[in-house]
Amino acid sequence: MTAPPFTAPASVLTVMAHPDDAELWAGGTLARCSASGAAVTVAIPHHPEPVRDAEAAAGAAILGAKLYQYDQPTATALRELLLAVRPEIVITHPLRDVHPDHRNLAETLVAALPDVVIATGHPRRVYTADTYNSLTADGPVPAHTTIDITHSYEIKKRALAAHTSQPITDHFGPMAETLARLWGSRIGVRYAENFVPVPILGRLPAASTL
């Protein structure tokens, strides 16, 4: 398997549960999209600890993304987010993620999609990202849309390192590198990230890249 050609979408919205999730699960792809001219938005709930919100702002800036924060990941809040941003692409957590916060957010987001897509036509495609050791409650994350992030991996590392209150050096950083190397080996590159499409109103994306 070889790396597919990459064409950046016009806009990407990443909807995640925690301040470091966008960097950890999709940071290299978001940085690559931003460098290619895409409008990139990272959306997360406000965190009870102000330091986490400050780290989220710093991480998003390193990725070249706008940070969008809201109070709670309710269906109403996520519907308002989708209507405000109207992205071409949405990336979120696996629907069967082992982390309950990830799983609940993804389920709420997917529930908000149909009305928004019918009203606006956006997003055009929705993907789920990776998770801890690429294992969901249903088993391994399937290889599907695997993006070469070799040239944006250092940006991903710097964005992840902005979350200084978290165990990046000893835990999340090594896990991110291991996963990026494993996905990269599948397409013959040094580092990669993988995404799995989610049906929108019964349709799966025809695109082989994001």
Angle subtended by helix axes 21-35 and 50-63, to nearest 10: 30
Query: How far apart (Å, rounded) are the C-alpha atoms in residues 25 and 44?
Result: 14
Is the pLDDT assigned to residue 24 strictly greater than 70? yes
Outline where 41-200 has alpha helix (H). Answer: 50-63, 75-85, 100-120, 153-161, 173-187
Sequence spans of domains, the chain: 11-198
Query: How far apart (Å, rounded) are the C-alpha atoms in residues 19 and 46?
Result: 8
Of 61, 29, 6, whose CA–CA distance to 127 is shortest? Answer: 29
Query: How far apart (Å, rounded) are the C-alpha atoms in residues 107 and 109?
Result: 5
Query: How far apart (Å, rounded) are the C-alpha atoms in residues 113 and 121?
Result: 10
Is the pLDDT assigned to residue 208 strictly greater than 80? no
Strand (E) or helix (H) holding 26: helix 21-35
What is the per-residue pLDDT across 82-130, written as a single tens digit (0 to 9) for each?
999 999 999 999 999 999 999 999 999 999 999 999 999 999 999 999 9
**pTM of the prediction?**
0.96
Superfamily of chain region 11-198: LmbE-like (3.40.50.10320)
User: Which residues contact residue 61 at a Cβ distance below 8 angstroms, ignoring those fewer than 6 apart?
Assistant: 67
Apex CA 8: angle with CA 115 and CA 176, to 5°?
Answer: 90
Higher pLDDT, 3 or 121: 121
